């Protein structure tokens, strides 16, 4: 059959793109369905007004909050998924993140699998995504079986000074683990690529190691792998028993098409994957596919994310600022028995945002003047699973996101810790004295770290997926985006998504298809 494939993968982000890379080696006939197209390489890629203010690459789509008010989610439908626009900080979750942890807002549950299970796949994912870093520099870093393949990104002079001053006041800053494909990775000649516009921007130079450039491109080099873009998967269709999915209904360039497959892998992002299962309700699954537990869409987590900008007297002429991290407060502090979160330098804020921040603090100053005064920080704190924070569908099929913040105290305290840090810095360097602060916190529209809507576990009554991320209710459907997270730590989920996709891909290669081959061989022996 022309439209029959051994495997269909839906989505091309950190989960879908990575498992496509892994399964390409199987020789199986694989179809990848991507809702969007390729991000065009154009001068607007680095045009902050176009990308940030006008949202050039974001879909014109409304979701709805608790009160039914529309909002435009910060998501992207394109080849490579949201990874085309991420900040490329590739952290392993800490060993404690896989265990039960007490927080200000309650308890973060333990994962059914521990860090040791994920460690070898973290190593593989770091190699695949060209992660640059330095083992042992991060005081909270978990054990690793090997060094980073690539050295850390060099600090620019002003960042060197900041790191030295932080060490003087007792902190332990470290080089961020960054997914970057740099010229010096393959050449002895150092010619570092400096990207001023980074977080939230696509990279036309392909230096940012995203799911498309690092994983999917390799997969598509295999003759057994096909990708169709602009293919919106509307529904998964089961057989008469409701035990397995046999067909995928997609709208391709406005036309309805059906594709059949023996194995389905869903990687649409935590919100859209849950929505797809709900949208696929049928007679056998009246509340949505894989939803006998009533857990599909529940326990949505987003992280508490935000930007805090320090306006100092220290001239900041750095070009690529995103190179330093600070995890001293990840597990708590002397005056905090509970975890707070992680701090890192971020890429420069766009001119419109910087001018907005400086408008009341320093009226009349230009963007360039404000830029040289500013040091941009990104803060992440953990939010906790809550079954009432959930994805549902409205009567017209649009997405509703019911979400109330949990554990927000940790985030507020983390911001205070950063401000206290600069008070101490000001005591040893007057250029850091009397810092003026501005910034913003992401609201419900900030969907870049969405996770948790299809959690995995041992008990089909309390989880949607089993330990191999196959749905409990369906024989042949796997999920490899961040939906499977039982909790979310306080780091960008990208590396953990990729590591898990490699783990699930390994399971499919060595167990699903091994069993299939064994059965076939037995049948042929009986027939002879």
Please list the rounded mean pLDDT of every run of 10 residues in the chain (528 residues): 89 98 96 97 93 94 96 96 96 98 98 98 97 96 95 94 98 97 64 71 93 97 98 97 97 96 98 98 97 98 97 94 97 96 94 93 94 96 98 97 97 98 97 96 94 98 98 98 98 98 97 61 36
| Residues in CB range of 314: below 8 A, 6 or more apart | 158, 161, 375, 429, 431, 432
DSSP state of 523: H
Helices 408-428 and 157-168: crossing angle, nearest 10°?
100
pLDDT at position 526 is: 34
Of 74, 111, 114, residue with least CA distance to 488:
111
Helices 115-128 and 494-507: crossing angle, nearest 10°?
100
SS3 state of residue 324: strand
Distance CA 258, CA 250 (A): 6
Instruction: Catalogue the E-assigned strands of 14-153.
Output: 30-33, 63-64, 70-71, 101-103, 106-108, 131-132
Torsion angle of C-alpha atoms 55, 56, 59, 61, degrees rounded to 10: 50
Domains of the chain: 4-527 (3.50.50.60)
Distance CA 72, CA 56 (A): 13
Identify the H or E element spanning 174. Answer: strand 174-175
> Tokens 């996709």 belong to which residue?
501
Contact yes or no for 97/451 (Cβ under 8 A): no
Instruction: Catalogue the E-assigned strands of 13-130.
Output: 30-33, 63-64, 70-71, 101-103, 106-108
Distance CA 25, CA 201 (A): 31
pLDDT at position 193 is: 57
pLDDT at position 514 is: 76
Of 353, 373, 347, residue with least CA distance to 362:
373
User: 376 to each of 8, 308, 438, how far by Cα in Å?
Assistant: 41, 6, 10
Question: How are beta strands 178-179 and 174-175 bridged, if at all?
Answer: unpaired
| Residues in CB range of 479: below 8 A, 6 or more apart | 265, 266, 267, 273, 454, 464, 465, 469, 471
Structure-block tokens of residue 203: 């990279």
> Tokens 């330093």 belong to which residue?
324
The predicted model scores a pTM of: 0.95
With b meaning 16 or more CB within 10 Å and e meaning fewer, what string describes 174-189? bbbbbbbbbeeeeeee
* φ, ψ of residue 500 in degrees (nearest 5): -65, -40
* φ, ψ of residue 318 in degrees (nearest 5): -65, 145
HEC states along 257-313?
EEEEEEEEEECCCHHHHHHHHHHCCCCCCCCCCCCCCCCCCCCCECCEEEEEEEECC
pLDDT at position 183 is: 72
DSSP for 418-459, please give it.
HHHHHHHHHHH-GGGSS-EEEEEE--TT--TT-B-TT-B-S-
Signed CA dihedral, 10, 11, 12, 18: sign only: negative
pLDDT at position 400 is: 98
Identify the H or E element spanning 233. Answer: strand 231-238
> Tokens 């830029």 belong to which residue?
371
Identify the H or E element spanning 9. Answer: strand 4-10
Contact yes or no for 296/172 (Cβ under 8 A): no
SS3 state of residue 476: coil
With b meaning 16 or more CB within 10 Å and e meaning fewer, what string describes 444-464? bebbbbbbbbbbbbeebeebb
> Tokens 């600090």 belong to which residue?
155
Structure-block tokens of residue 168: 């003087």
pLDDT at position 378 is: 97
């Amino acid at each position: 059959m022309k439209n029959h494939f051994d495997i269909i993968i839906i989505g091309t982000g950190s989960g879908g793109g990575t498992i496509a890379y892994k399964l390409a080696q199987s020789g199986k006939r694989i179809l990848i369905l991507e809702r969007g197209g390729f991000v065009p390489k154009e001068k607007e890629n680095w045009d902050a007004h176009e990308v940030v203010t006008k949202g050039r690459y974001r879909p014109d789509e409304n979701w709805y909050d608790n009160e039914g008010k529309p909002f435009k989610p910060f998501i992207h439908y394109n080849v490579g998924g949201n990874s085309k626009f991420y900040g490329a900080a590739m952290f392993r979750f800490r060993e404690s993140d896989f265990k039960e942890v007490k927080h200000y807002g309650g308890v973060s549950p333990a994962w059914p699998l521990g860090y040791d299970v994920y460690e070898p796949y973290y190593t593989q994912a770091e190699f695949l995504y060209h992660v640059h870093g330095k083992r042992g520099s991060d005081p909270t870093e978990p054990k690793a079986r090997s060094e980073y393949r690539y050295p850390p990104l060099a600090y620019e002079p002003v960042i060197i000074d900041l790191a030295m001053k932080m060490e003087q006041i007792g902190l332990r800053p470290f080089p961020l683990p960054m997914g970057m494909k740099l010229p010096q990775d393959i050449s002895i000649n150092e010619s570092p690529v400096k990207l001023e516009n980074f977080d939230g921007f696509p990279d036309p130079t392909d230096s940012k190691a995203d799911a498309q450039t690092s994983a999917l491109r390799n997969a598509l080099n295999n003759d057994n792998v096909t990708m169709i873009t602009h293919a919106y998967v509307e529904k998964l269709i089961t057989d008469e028993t409701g035990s397995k999915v046999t067909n995928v209904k997609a709208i391709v360039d406005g036309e309805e098409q059906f594709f059949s497959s023996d194995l389905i892998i869903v990687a649409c992002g935590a919100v859209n994957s849950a929505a797809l299962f709900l949208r696929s309700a049928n007679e056998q699954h009246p509340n949505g596919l894989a939803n006998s537990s009533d857990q599909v869409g529940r326990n949505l987590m987003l992280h508490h994310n935000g930007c805090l900008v320090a306006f100092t007297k220290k001239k900041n002429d750095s070009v690529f600022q995103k190179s330093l991290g600070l995890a001293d407060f990840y597990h708590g502090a002397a005056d905090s028995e509970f975890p707070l979160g992680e701090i890192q330098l971020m890429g420069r804020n766009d001119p419109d945002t910087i001018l907005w921040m400086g408008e009341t603090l320093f009226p009349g100053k230009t963007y360039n003047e404000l830029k040289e005064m500013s040091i941009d920080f990104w803060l992440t704190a953990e939010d906790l699973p809550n079954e009432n924070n959930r994805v549902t569908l409205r009567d017209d099929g649009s997405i509703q996101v019911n979400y109330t913040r949990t554990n927000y105290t940790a985030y507020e305290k983390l911001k205070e810790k950063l401000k206290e840090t600069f008070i101490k810095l000001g005591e040893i360097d007057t250029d850091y004295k009397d810092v003026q602060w501005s910034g913003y916190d992401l609201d419900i529209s900030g969907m870049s770290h969405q996770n948790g809507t299809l959690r995995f576990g041992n008990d089909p009554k309390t989880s949607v997926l089993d330990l191999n991320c196959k749905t409990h209710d369906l024989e042949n459907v796997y999920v490899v985006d961040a939906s499977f997270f039982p909790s979310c730590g306080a780091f960008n989920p990208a590396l953990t998504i990729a590591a898990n996709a490699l783990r699930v891909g390994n399971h499919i290669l060595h167990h699903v298809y091994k069993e299939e081959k064994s059965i076939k061989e037995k049948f042929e022996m009986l027939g002879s």
